[in-house]
Amino acid sequence: MFSDFTVKEKVLGLLSIFVTYVGPAILIAIGSYIHAVRQRATGFLMVLVGCLVLTIIEFIVFVGGFFYALGTWSTAVTVLPWASAIVTMIAALLARAAESRGSGRARPV
């Protein structure tokens, strides 16, 4: 099945998967840590950028009709990172709003 592909095509395929899904997911994970634990605005910015990248990719996939061509399991694999990115973005926005209101809690050291 995969023997038809050259090494160059395999490497490019893995690189595209990393750039498309793994890279933004790592950016979101590190940004979530910085935003939640360190309470820094740079963490919020990292979460925002990672979520926007995943959302734009998902929109392109949806508009391109790949859902219909790929089937159920490929659609699920494509939708899961996007759905978790949306949930993470909502949580980051709510945390940022609570922080800006001054929730009355002391900042951890």
* Sequential pLDDT tens for the chain (109 residues): 556 778 888 888 888 878 877 888 888 888 888 887 887 888 888 888 888 888 888 777 777 766 666 676 777 777 777 777 788 888 888 877 877 777 555 455 4
Question: Mind giving me the DSSP string for 7-66?
Answer: HHHHHHHHHHHIIIIIHHHHHHHHHHHIIIII--HHHHHHHHHHHHHHHHHHHHHHHTTH
| pLDDT at residue number 103 | 56
**Residue at token pair 């979101």:** 28
| pLDDT at residue number 107 | 54
Residue 106's CB is within 10 A of a number of other CB atoms, namely 5
Q: How far apart are CA 47 and CA 52, in angstroms?
A: 8
| pLDDT at residue number 14 | 82
